[in-house]
Amino acid sequence: MGETTTDLLITGATRVGGLADEGGDLLVRDGVLLDPAEAGRDGSRELVRIDADGLLAVPGLVDLHCHLREPGREDAETVATGAAAAARGGFTAVLAMANTVPVTDTAEAARHVRALGEQAGLGAVVPIGAVSKGLDGQELAELGLMARTGVRVFSDDGHCVSDARLMRRALEYVRAFDGVIAQHAQDPRLAGPDACCHEGEVSGRLGLAGWPAAAESTIIARDVQLAALTRSRLHVCHVSTAESVEVLRWAKQRYPQADITAEVTPHHLLLTTDLLAGYDPTFKVNPPLRPAEDVEAVRAALADGTIDAVATDHAPHARHDKEHAFADAAFGMVGLETALGVVVETMVRTGLADWERVVEATSTTPARIARLTDQGRRLAVGAPATLTLVDPTARAVVDAADTRSLSRNNPWHGRELPDPVVATVAAGRLTYRR
């Protein structure tokens, strides 16, 4: 859709979202939502119509946590292919983690990632800056210089900022420009580099190195207190255990003045550690899949707001990195294209959440955490034309080969899931249409 010569008229959709106003058609022109009565009045503009009767129009989805691999591992993913997968999944903005090669730990590296996203033109690609140089946990990266380029989220994801003094310094530093530290909570002394399976009966039976729940919850317990101490913003990545949920619930009650947020991944909302019985490396992820009681706990926490957001942790890998013995394979799963479907399956179809809560967790709250003011949080005249059309009833069998990603490490292959995304509009551009 040309941005300056084509209008897009969406008719019949029901708007959902806490900041959406009620009813009515949606007219997209030059990146902005206009009064639908303007449609067709300018004869020099082509009018494209989408009949959205029975569909929901929601503010565009925002992913706080994905791995786009470029620069350095373009065999697994590029910014362009990752952005295309994101558009297919209904996302209009994605935050790209810093564990690239080289690491995104300088202003120049951050600008490069943002430029790649602009070249792709499929939605906002926002770089996440590293907390420490080279992700080595020893010395702070160029937080201030990266902030000048617009970076507001900093993470050593894949590695925990395990040194309490460094974590405190990082929290203090980013407070000056309203940044947030996104922590990969994994105590390396309790769950080292070989840990690959939830520590319990399954890990013992399979002979896999255990990753205890305490390795996650103890880091979170430390960090929420540091966030309160420094009066800074903390975001906890990929919460996966009932113990972690209880720590977060306590922290939000104990420190109401602190800005503490957390995310859960789609796979931790549905998949359990029992899937590891066949040693399929597709299901190797960090943090690991957990028992059913943990899945139940994180679902309940997402429903009641203890966990604020859903983030994909989209982690594409080339075949030669995954096709190994389980203990030697790379961590991670792809997830951008299926994320909303899994949330619908686990939260809406079970009655744990309505669509208003889904929009909060996948769109408006992630945009707020990332300080993305340009994302369409209001479906109203004059607002940015950034939205997703969803069919709440559509279902499909997932085919790992039917993807816009370069990688195929898809844990949902062969499973029937909701397939809700019908169209994605990012900054006025139709980036995906089924």
Burial 189-224 (b: 16+ CB within 10 A, else e): ebbeeebbbbbeebbeebebebbbbbbbbbbbbbbb
In CATH, the number for domain 6-56+381-394+417-433 is 2.30.40.10
Annotation says 280 is catalytic:
no
Q: What is the pLDDT of residues 2-48, one digit of tens each?
A: 444 789 999 999 999 855 555 679 999 999 999 998 887 877 789 99
> Which DSSP letter does residue 178 get?
T
List Cα–Cα distances, 316 to 205, 322, 396, 413, 431, in angstroms: 28, 10, 22, 14, 21
Bond before 71 cis per omega within 30 degrees? yes
Q: Does residue 108 contact residue 77 with C-beta atoms inside 8 Å?
A: no
Q: Which residues pair with 259 in a beta bridge?
A: 233
Q: What is the pLDDT of residues 41-89, one digit of tens each?
A: 877 789 999 999 999 999 999 999 999 999 999 999 999 999 999 999 9
Question: Exposed, middle or buried by CB within 10 Å (0-12, 13-18, 19+), for 414?
Answer: exposed
Q: What is the pLDDT of residues 228-238, one digit of tens each?
A: 999 999 999 99
Share of the chain above pLDDT 90, in %: 92
Q: Is 317 annotated as a binding residue?
A: yes
The pLDDT of residue 161: 98
Catalytic one of 156, 294, 308, 313: 313
Q: Are strands 395-397 and 416-418 parallel, antiparallel or unpaired?
A: antiparallel
Across all residues in the chain, what is the average pLDDT? Answer: 95
Bond before 36 cis per omega within 30 degrees? no
Q: What is the pLDDT of residues 374-431, one digit of tens each?
A: 876 788 889 999 999 999 999 999 999 999 999 999 999 999 999 999 999 999 999 9
Q: Is 428 annotated as a binding residue?
A: no
Burial 361-383 (b: 16+ CB within 10 A, else e): bbbbbbbbbbbbeebbbbbeeeb
Closest by Cα among 87, 163, 155, 156 to 125? 87
What is the rounded CA–CA span in Å between residue 248 and residue 261?
A: 9
Q: Is 184 annotated as a binding residue?
A: yes
Q: Does residue 241 contact residue 217 with C-beta atoms inside 8 Å?
A: yes
Sign of CA dihedral 18, 118, 321, 421: positive
Q: Which amino acid is at 107?
A: A
Q: Which residues pair with 309 in a beta bridge?
A: 263
What is the rounded CA–CA span in Å between residue 240 and residue 337?
A: 21
List Cα–Cα distances, 146 to 129, 179, 383, in angstroms: 7, 11, 28
The pLDDT of residue 377: 75
| pTM over 0.85, yes/no | yes
What is the rounded CA–CA span in Å between residue 398 and residue 404?
A: 13
Kind and range of the H or E run holding 424: strand 421-426
What would the two tokens of residue 210 be?
């255990």
The pLDDT of residue 375: 79
Q: Residue 150 above 70 pLDDT? A: yes
Q: Is 67 annotated as a binding residue?
A: yes
Q: Which residues pair with 234 in a beta bridge?
A: 181, 260
**Hey, what CATH topology would domain 59-370 get?**
TIM Barrel (3.20.20)
Q: What is the pLDDT of residues 215-271, one digit of tens each?
A: 999 999 999 999 999 999 999 999 999 999 999 999 999 999 899 999 999 999 999
Domain ranges of the chain: 6-56+381-394+417-433, 59-370
Kind and range of the H or E run holding 146: helix 143-148
Q: What is the pLDDT of residues 311-336, one digit of tens each?
A: 999 999 999 999 999 999 999 999 99
Q: Is 112 annotated as a binding residue?
A: no
Question: Exposed, middle or buried by CB within 10 Å (0-12, 13-18, 19+), for 58?
Answer: buried
Burial 149-172 (b: 16+ CB within 10 A, else e): bebbbbbbbbbbbbeeebbbbbbe
| Helix extents (H) in 163-276 | 164-175, 201-206, 214-230, 242-254, 266-270
Using alpha carbons only, how large is the chain's radius of gyration in Å? 21
Lowest mean pLDDT segment, chosen from 14-23, 243-252, 279-288, 353-362: 14-23
What is the rounded CA–CA span in Å between residue 223 and residue 370?
A: 19
What is the rounded CA–CA span in Å between residue 124 and residue 152?
A: 14
List Cα–Cα distances, 389 to 87, 112, 282, 416, in angstroms: 11, 31, 30, 20
210 three-state secondary structure: strand
Q: Is 283 annotated as a binding residue?
A: no
Q: Is 320 annotated as a binding residue?
A: no
Q: Does residue 61 contact residue 340 with C-beta atoms inside 8 Å?
A: yes
